[in-house]
């Protein structure tokens, strides 16, 4: 039996299960957070964050994230050119790590959340185990995109030799930071219980 | 102080299935039979262990923040890097949002997290200041996903590799203290069970009625 069918709701802050006659009627008796059966406006909020992130994804990849200046050369570096640079300098493993964290993960997250949101909105039967696995994966990998942001901050403060060599942040970094935060918020707004509220394509014998 | 059992029922956070509350177990977290998600609320929690580990983490946090993590030498001129410097350098150069974000996820959130765990465990063993504990628990709930020390460790490694062919780079004391802090912070987070603390608060509320 589901908690919602018994008019019970688990508080998302303190975890207490309380009786809730109707949606949003009470606050949790233990920690006074408003109680809900499902995260309110989960789908719309998640869509809003995802679309904003998708828009920021464009400048994040097109604009440079760093300006590198040294005696003999000076150039700007985008996320992708940083990866190519690493790969050409025989540092393939690190290049792969940076590529996965900075390009593959944000892109996969955006697509994944859009797929999950579409699944929930269509309301047709799905393979729930598969969908929930995707949700958990998205939830788990999200924070690793912060990698490039941290790298920029380390490089900027470490390589500051004035005329000889210096690295400075550029506008792409802000856009990329926005993508990371917005996809994190999108995943956090998405309520996984919505997946389990759908019918399963296969007859689910663990259904209680 | 032993862990309180609390209510007899719980609901799965991922699929909303009503379940009997699992007994706290030292070995494994309980899993939902329907969707297979783990429930961290079934963790075995003792305030002494939690307090010890979080205090240890706070102690190594001091050198981790004060000592330089890396020294980079180019043409005989060295620069050093401490944990907070990167974020502050970005804020200094006008990248307020990015700098603030880095400061939040590498300095503010992890330290607040540790202070929360240490204070909650301390107040639990003293059986005092329940209302304040409730506030700390809420703060813990909202801050916990913003601490990203593990990601930061990987980015230090990537930066080291990027700079290796430019000049001479050395990792120093601050970095090793930082790794110790990361390990202890992870341990403190995994050993902490906020729901057990909420149960204790509730029990106290009822005792006061």
ipTM (interface pTM)? 0.85
Question: For B139-180, how does the pLDDT look when each residue is reduced to its tens digit (9 = 90+)?
Answer: 998 898 899 999 999 999 888 888 887 778 888 888 999 999
The answer on pLDDT for B209 being more than 70 is no
What is the count of structural domains for chain B?
2
Domain with CATH 1.20.140 in chain A: 41-196
Please indicate, yes or no, whether residues B165 and B74 belong to a single structural domain of this protein. Answer: yes
Burial class (CB in 10 A: 0-12, 13-18, 19+), A82: buried
Binning pLDDT at 50, 70 and 90, where does residue B6 land? low
Of the partner residues B16, B36, B77, the one whose CB lies closest to the CB of residue A193: B16
Please indicate, yes or no, whether residues B118 and B182 belong to a single structural domain of this protein. Answer: yes
- Could you tell me the fold of the domain covering A41-196? Butyryl-CoA Dehydrogenase, subunit A; domain 3 (1.20.140)
Of the partner residues B15, B35, B93, the one whose CB lies closest to the CB of residue A169: B93
Please indicate, yes or no, whether residues B31 and B87 belong to a single structural domain of this protein. Answer: no
Nearest CA in chain B to A144: B151
Q: Are B77 and B168 in contact (CB under 8 A)?
A: no
Please indicate, yes or no, whether residues B29 and B77 belong to a single structural domain of this protein. Answer: no
In this prediction, residue B3 carries a pLDDT of: 45
Q: Which of A101, A150, A174, A177 to mutate to test the interface with B (most CBs of B within 10 A)?
A: A150
Please indicate, yes or no, whether residues B92 and B121 belong to a single structural domain of this protein. Answer: yes
* d(C-alpha B55, C-alpha A90), whole Å: 42
Question: For A139-193, how does the pLDDT look when each residue is reduced to its tens digit (9 = 90+)?
Answer: 888 888 888 889 888 888 888 777 777 888 888 889 999 999 999 999 989 988 8
* d(C-alpha A63, C-alpha A182), whole Å: 18
Please indicate, yes or no, whether residues B147 and B128 belong to a single structural domain of this protein. Answer: yes
The residue among A49 and B82 whose pLDDT is bigger is A49
CATH number at residue B139: 1.20.140
Mean pLDDT confidence for B130-144: 89
Mean pLDDT confidence for A73-99: 83
Nearest CA in chain A to B135: A31
Taking the CA atoms of residue A80, residue A85, residue A88 and residue A90 in that order, the dihedral angle to the nearest 10 degrees is: -110
Residues of B in contact with A197 (CB under 8 A): 16
A157/B9 touch (CB, cutoff 8 Å), yes or no: no
B140 to A36, A144, A156, B181: CA distances (angstroms): 21, 21, 31, 18
Q: Are A50 and A137 in contact (CB under 8 A)?
A: no
For A:79-138, CB contacts with B below 8 A are: 86, 89, 91, 94, 97-98, 101, 128-129, 132, 136
Mean pLDDT confidence for B104-131: 90
Nearest CA in chain A to B140: A13
Q: Are A26 and A20 in contact (CB under 8 A)?
A: yes
Which residue range forms the structural domain that includes residue B16? 1-44
Please indicate, yes or no, whether residues B173 and B144 belong to a single structural domain of this protein. Answer: yes
Please indicate, yes or no, whether residues B170 and B120 belong to a single structural domain of this protein. Answer: yes
For A:151-180, CB contacts with B below 8 A are: 151-161, 164-165, 168-169, 173-174, 177-178
Percent of chain B with pLDDT over 70: 95
Please indicate, yes or no, whether residues B72 and B10 belong to a single structural domain of this protein. Answer: no
């Amino acid at each position: 039996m589901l908690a919602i069918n018994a008019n019970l709701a688990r508080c998302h802050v303190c975890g207490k299960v309380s009786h809730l006659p109707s949606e949003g009627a009470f606050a949790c008796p233990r920690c006074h957070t408003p109680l809900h059966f499902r995260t309110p406006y989960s789908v719309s909020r998640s869509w809003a964050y995802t679309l904003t992130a998708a828009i920021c994804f464009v400048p994040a990849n097109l604009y440079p994230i760093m300006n590198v200046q040294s005696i003999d050369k000076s150039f700007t570096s985008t996320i992708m050119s940083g990866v190519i640079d690493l790969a050409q300098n025989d540092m393939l493993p690190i290049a792969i790590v940076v590529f996965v964290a900075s390009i593959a993960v944000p892109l996969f997250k955006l697509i994944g959340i859009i797929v999950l949101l579409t699944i929930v909105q269509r309301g047709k039967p799905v393979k729930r185990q598969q969908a929930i696995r995707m949700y958990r994966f998205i939830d788990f990998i999200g924070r690793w995109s912060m990698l490039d942001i941290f790298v920029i901050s380390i490089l900027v403060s470490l390589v500051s030799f004035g005329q000889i060599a210096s690295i400075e942040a550029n506008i792409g970094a802000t856009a990329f930071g926005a993508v990371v935060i917005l996809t994190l918020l999108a995943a956090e707004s998405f309520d996984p219980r919505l997946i389990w509220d759908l019918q399963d394509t296969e007859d689910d014998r663990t259904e209680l | 102080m032993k862990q309180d059992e609390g209510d007899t029922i719980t609901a799965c956070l991922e699929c909303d299935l009503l379940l009997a509350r699992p007994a706290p177990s030292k070995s494994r977290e309980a899993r939902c039979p329907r969707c297979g998600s783990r429930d961290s609320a079934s963790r075995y929690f003792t305030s002494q262990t939690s307090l010890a580990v979080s205090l240890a983490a706070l102690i190594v946090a001091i050198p981790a923040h004060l000592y330089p993590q890396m020294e980079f030498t180019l043409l005989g001129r060295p620069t050093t890097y401490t944990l907070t410097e990167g974020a502050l350098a970005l804020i200094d150069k006008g990248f307020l949002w990015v700098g603030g974000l880095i400061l939040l996820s590498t300095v503010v959130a992890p330290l607040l997290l540790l202070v929360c765990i240490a204070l909650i465990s301390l107040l639990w063993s003293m059986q005092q200041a329940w209302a304040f504990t409730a506030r700390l628990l809420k703060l813990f709930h909202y801050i916990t996903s913003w601490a990203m020390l593990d990601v930061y460790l990987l980015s230090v490694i990537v930066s080291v590799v990027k700079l290796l062919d430019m000049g001479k780079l050395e990792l120093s004391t601050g970095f090793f203290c930082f790794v110790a802090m990361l390990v202890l912070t992870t341990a403190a987070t995994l050993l902490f069970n906020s729901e057990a603390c909420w149960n204790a608060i509730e029990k106290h509320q009822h005792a006061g009625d």
